């Protein structure tokens, strides 16, 4: 009987852990999208609002700190550079 209870508890913990990891993955994917999508739009010649650019810059900064995959970091760095260039261009045009 104790083995069955232990197995049941471990099963519940595993299911709960997998659900939590899935939520984290969705959040990370959303953050990645918030960083990369505006950059892609800019590169394609589209328009991105100031608030969206600032949100993208913040998302890229958070992702740089939390990501360990070098390919993802390279994509984040490229997007962050593109966003920073656009923000500098907009600041220069205001003065």
Domain ranges for the chain, please list them: 52-95
Residue 94 vs residues 9, 80, 85, 90: alpha-carbon distances, Å? 61, 21, 14, 6
Dump pLDDT digits (tens) for 15-43.
555 444 444 454 466 789 999 999 999 99
Query: Is the model more confident about 24 or about 89?
Result: 89
pLDDT of residue 19: 42
Q: What is the mean pLDDT of residues 78-94?
A: 94
pLDDT at residue 34 in the model: 93
Residue 14, pLDDT > 70, answer: no
Report the predicted TM-score, pTM, of the whole model to 2 decimal places. Answer: 0.69
């Amino acid at each position: 009987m104790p083995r069955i209870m232990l197995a049941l508890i471990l099963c519940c913990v595993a299911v709960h852990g997998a659900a939590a990891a899935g939520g984290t993955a969705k959040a990370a994917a959303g953050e990645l999208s918030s960083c990369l999508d505006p950059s892609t739009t800019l590169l394609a010649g589209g328009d991105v609002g100031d608030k969206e650019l600032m949100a993208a810059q913040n998302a890229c900064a958070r992702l740089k700190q939390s990501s360990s995959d070098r390919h993802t970091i390279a994509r984040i760095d490229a997007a962050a550079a593109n966003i920073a260039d656009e923000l500098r261009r907009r600041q220069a045009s205001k003065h």
